[in-house]
Amino acid sequence: MPDRHRPHAHYSPPHGWVNDPNGLVFDGRHYHLFAQHNPHGDTWGNMSWSHAVSEDLVHWQERPVALWCDEHDMVFSGSAIVLDDGRMLAAYTSHREGRQTQSLALSEDGDVWRRFEGNPVLDLGMADFRDPKLFRVPFSRSLRMAVALPTERTVRFYASDGDLANWEQTGEFTVEGAKGIWECPDLVELAGPDGPRWMLTVSNEGGCDAYVGEFDGATFRPDRPFAQRLDHGPDFYAFQTWNHARRPGLGVAWMSNWKYAHATPTNGWRGAMTIPRELSLAVDEGTLVVTQSVAEAVLCRRTRLFDLRNADARLIGGLFGVQDLSQGAVFLEASMQLADCPSVTLNLQFGDADTVPITLEGLKGTVRLDRRRSGPAIHPEFPGVYKGPLQTREGGVDLMVVIDRCSVEVLADGGRTTLTALVFPRSDRLSVSVEAPGGTCMAKSVAVSRIEAGDGAPGRKVFDLDA
């Protein structure tokens, strides 16, 4: 089949390469998604900004390339914001060999962009200085910008009082002993149990780290000097949030990994975004932690297939039957009581050959995703087992699993732990089996739904063994 791995519920380009999401902005009606893009091929190069818009975060309309590379610079990652006069302002990194500077562009409609005459607006004479994130601070009309100094593992903050050519440094953030390189900073204010707090994210070592703390208008100060890993899978990078979203903390990440992004077996296109997620704050043992959920706008597009309540979890497989992923993405939600069961495994079976086990280990406090048998090994670095922390609450655990044609995303423990992984199985026929060795696992509730690839809504069935 010519395009058998193209997802249904995730953004992917109609052609060419994409990586980091850029310029995420909501204009009151449309969600704009720009991205690092090669318009001329499905490998990295000719970095420009693609552009797509959506009203529901599921169905995307492709727009013309927004910012083209030229003979002088490639257009690297950045962000966008809506100005008081209704125009959009984009900030991006102008990249040439040995030098990176920050530049601006303006647009009346999001489609046609004009580069700012005063570019570059920030130039430190450095080879690694990139990924500007525009944002605002409540009760201030000044524009703010966070920019990464990757090899120094530092985020610098700048402000402009209206003169777009002039940006003054206000502060910087770093962490003693940090490793790797820092890229794609994002700063957003989230509602917390005791009032709003700021979340700063940086992409680092193939994933994304989140710090919760205070932004005083000049610089960021974390509540604690260590980060929370936003996702424990291999394919979650360059997370960014939408400016002006109705729900602050709405964002996506690039769903791939630089180790093997060039080897994914897609046809004429490469790269996709994660399912859009909403981030919020919760308290665990007196500490604020970041939680994730699938965006409400996405959940509203689902068709419910069946519910199961108060039954042995091993019955899930028989009721799940066989779902055809060519017809849409599948969402499996479960709340399970582990009781005396040391571990529970949900086996996602793709046809006869490929399997992705998801294992909940209540006693060990871990959740694992194993993609060693998820399809052909597209690269030596692709097979692997990934795990994150898992806390049982009164002996129970909840999770949501989103399965699309080339990905599996697990959100467990109220979204405190997530794992995102690409998979390239040889079949679209998806079935599920549940193993609970050495004990009994009760499913308090299970719901299976689907975002349809086309028209048609199958009837909903409800199974309640307490009835």
Return the H-helix or E-strand segment holding 298: helix 296-299
Same domain, 342 and 422: yes
| Residue 9, CA distances (Å) to 6, 106, 266, 276 in order | 10, 30, 16, 9
Residue 355 lies in a domain: yes
- Strand 16-26, strand 130-136: pairing: unpaired
Same domain, 261 and 150: yes
Confidence check: pLDDT of 136 > 70: yes
Edge-first strand order for the sheet with 396-404 is: 417-422, 407-412, 396-404, 328-337, 442-452, 303-312, 461-464
pLDDT for 464: 46
Say what the pLDDT of residue 440 is: 81
Q: Is the peptide bond before 120 cis (omega within 30 degrees of 0)?
A: yes
Q: What is the pLDDT of residues 6-33, one digit of tens each?
A: 999 999 999 999 999 999 999 999 999 9
- 89-101 pLDDT per residue, tens: 999 999 999 999 9
> Residues 279, 351: one domain?
no
* Residue 280, domain CATH: 2.115.10.20
Classify burial at 145, counting beta carbons within 10 Å of its beta carbon; exposed 0-12, middle 13-18, buried 19 or more.
buried
Among 93-107, 115-129, 304-318, 364-378, name the one with the lowest average pLDDT. 304-318
pLDDT band at 183 (very low <50, low <70, confident <90, very high): very high
Domain boundary, last residue among 269, 296, 323: 296
CB 358 within 8 A of CB 388: no
Query: Tens digits of per-residue pLDDT, 340-390?
Result: 788 999 999 999 999 999 999 988 999 999 999 999 999 999 999 999 999
pLDDT at 454: 57
Total-model pTM: 0.95
pLDDT at position 467 = 38
| Average confidence (pLDDT) over 279-305 | 95
Question: Which residues does the annotation mark as catalytic?
Answer: 20, 183
**Residues 149, 52 share a domain:** yes
Q: Which residue has the higher pLDDT, 464 or 50?
A: 50
Residues 290 and 413 in one domain: no
109 and 51 both lie in a single domain: yes
> How much is the pLDDT for 129?
98
What CATH number does residue 314 fall under? Answer: 2.60.120.560
Q: Higher confidence at residue 285 or residue 222?
A: 222
Residue 37 has what pLDDT?
Answer: 98
**Interval 261-279: pLDDT, tens:** 999 999 999 999 999 999 9
Q: Which of 236, 266, 296 is the last residue of a domain?
A: 296
Are 153 and 44 in a shared domain? yes
Same domain, 275 and 307: no
On the question of pLDDT at 461 being above 60, the answer is no
Q: What's the rounded Cα separation, in Å, for the pair 418 and 390?
A: 10
**How far is it, in rounded angstroms, from Cα 387 to Cα 418?**
9
The answer to whether 102 and 122 are in contact (CB under 8 A) is yes
- Asked, for residue 3, whether it belongs to a domain, the answer is no
Does residue 1 form part of some domain? no
H and E: helices and strands count for the chain:
2, 35
- Say if residues 302 and 449 touch (Cβ distance below 8 Å): yes
Mean pLDDT across 386-409: 94
Residue 111's pLDDT is 96
| Cα 28 from Cα 239, distance rounded (Å) | 22
Give 285's pLDDT tier (boundaries 50, 70, 90): confident
Least confident of 71-80, 109-118, 338-347: 338-347
Q: Is 6 inside any structural domain?
A: no
Number of independent structural domains in the chain: 2
Looking at the fold, whether 288 and 327 belong to one and the same domain comes out as no
Question: Which domain covers residue 241, as residue numbers?
Answer: 16-296
Burial label for 366, CB within 10 Å (0-12, 13-18, 19+), is: middle
Quick check: is 5 in a domain?
no
- List helix spans (H) across 351-408: none
pLDDT for residue 445 is more than 70: yes
Q: What is the pLDDT of residue 2?
A: 59
CB 328 within 8 A of CB 451: yes
Question: Where is pLDDT greater, at 266 or 457?
Answer: 266
List C-alpha distances in Å: 147 to 101, 136, 138, 236: 10, 14, 20, 20
Query: What's the whole-number mean pLDDT along residues 416-440?
Result: 94
Same domain, 149 and 196: yes
Look at residue 441 in the predicted model and tell me its pLDDT.
87
Determine the Cα–Cα distance for residues 238 and 249; give it in Å rounded to an integer.
Answer: 14
Q: Is residue 204 part of a domain?
A: yes
Among 268, 296, 324, the domain boundary falls at 296
Q: Over the chain, what is the mean pLDDT?
A: 94
Task: Give percent above pLDDT 90 in the chain.
Answer: 84
Give the whole-angstrom CA distance, residue 251 versus residue 21: 9
Q: Say if 4 falls within a structural domain.
A: no
